[in-house]
Amino acid sequence: MAYKALSAILIMSMADESMLHRTKEVIFMVAGHLREKRGYFHIVLSYTDENGKRQTPSKTTGLPVKGNKKRAEAMLMEARQSKELELKQRQEAKEAKLNETTQKSNPQDEATIPFTAFMLDWLEMMKPNLDKPTYASYSFCIKSKIVVYFDEFFPGLSLCNLTPKHIQDYYTYEMKERGVSANTVIHRHANIHKALKYAVKMDLIPFNPADKVERPKKQRYIADYYRQEELERLLEASKDHPYSLLIQMTAFYGLRRSEVVGLKWSAIDFKQKIITIRHTVTQVTLDGKSQIIQKDRTKTKSSYRSLPLIPPFEELLYRLKTQQEMNRKMCGKGYCTEYKDYIYVNEIGELIKPGYITQHFPLVLKKNGLRKIRFHDLRHSCASLLYANGVSLKEIQEWLGHSDISTTSNIYTHLDFSSKVASANAILSVFPTE
């Protein structure tokens, strides 16, 4: 990449900051204790490494618990001292490398580094600290939008010469010329602001120009959804579709796309009649290539939830499991076993990709003359149906896995209309009628 100077400048700035404390020797304290496991002593250490991350490694001593406590304690002490020495040596090596980089850096680069080069290097620096889906979002925003605009309209614009007007003009261009929504611009502003905040922290610029920019007003999200009769038509029309169960479970349980695609057979407890939402599958695009991200965790802690397995779905799941076993036998070695734990796979065992669902769901609606909604709107349809049948917002929050009830109430404010009608009728009773 051109203009690699930024990396050197960032390192130099951090090195200068650390020199203020160079007279104090960094001391790494390693705590530890013994743990009994399967009749043997295990050593468990606890310390903060040279990168500030908490580590708690463990290893066996090979000593049986009976009659070996003193020997195990001696091994623990030796392990602690050895780790402290190792951490000290790694810190010294890190500081030596910083000093070497500082000496080789050219201070003049700080004044001339282009804004776009800074954004790209900042993105690369952030990569290890971000989940892949989050990094993919950052990457698309910066590489495909922000950098493209500034390279075209302000080529070579240096970081130190970037003004609030440059940023404001970019937002105006995106909204007026390209028709980008206010919410999308707000997301891009967040990327720019965060990067420039780091530049201020590293003393590359005196202030954050994004602080002086007027962000567009956030557009209130209004959830679309199917009414009960529309939902009934969809379920009837899609009952013979290859992925009818996927559509039905999404609508009934209000699952996110990542949650329904991420369902595994291990999440279905046929004995206790419970479905546990704990796996997700997402699809991201990085540098033009599509990637599937599988996680054994949900979007938030509240998204991890257990829902009742009702008889109709229990029967359909049993039927699907039997069909998959038949497909596996028929395909033999040609059957894909990489996703054998997942519920929603095609005839040859390949995982149904999230993008496939998004693309093909509108075709199902169009074929059956149904009003166009997004696949995610089945989740909203579920919430609407729950509320219409007397389920409280608090219970809907728990069913959908929202982390905060304010999220539920903000998205589904339209559901409160019936209570407003009741209020209107109550007030109307005090007014005289002709």
Q: What is the pLDDT of residues 124-143, one digit of tens each?
A: 999 999 888 899 999 999 99
Q: Enter the DSSP assignment of 352.
A: P
Question: DSSP letter string over 18-59?
Answer: HHTTTTSPP----EEEEEEETTEEEEEEEEE-TTS-EE--EE
Distance CA 5, CA 131 (A): 26
pLDDT of 317 over the 60 cut: yes
CB 157 within 8 A of CB 166: yes
Nearest to 205 by CA among 161, 167, 268: 161
CA distance 380 to 412: 8
Return the minimum-mean-pLDDT range out of 153-167, 223-237, 246-260, 325-339. 223-237
Mean pLDDT confidence for 144-160: 95
CA–centroid distance for 382 within its chain = 23
Tell me the pLDDT band of 354, cut-offs 50, 70 and 90. very high
Please report, as a single letter, which amino acid is at residue 31: A
Average pLDDT of the residues of the chain: 85
Measured CA distances, 189 to 202, 359, 382 (Å): 20, 29, 33
Please give the average per-residue pLDDT across 244-249, as a whole number: 93
For the cut 70, the answer to whether the pLDDT of residue 10 exceeds it is: no
Q: Report if pTM > 0.85.
A: no
Q: What is the mean pLDDT of residues 51-77?
A: 88
Question: Which two structure tokens, joined as six digits, stand for 406?
Answer: 């304010």
Return the pLDDT at 14.
42
- 12 or 95: which carries more pLDDT confidence? 95
| Partner residues linked to 275 by β-bridges | 268, 307
Half-sphere exposure of residue 90: CA atoms within 13 angstroms, side-chain side: 12
> Taking the CB of residue 106, how many other CB atoms lie within 10 A of it?
11
Phi, psi (5° rounding) for residue 359? -75, -35
In the predicted structure, residue 107 carries a pLDDT above the cut 70 = no
DSSP string, 418-434: HHHHHHHHHHHTTS---
Rg (CA), the chain: 29
**Span of 49-63, 322-336, 408-422 with lowest mean pLDDT:** 408-422
Letter for the amino acid at 84? E
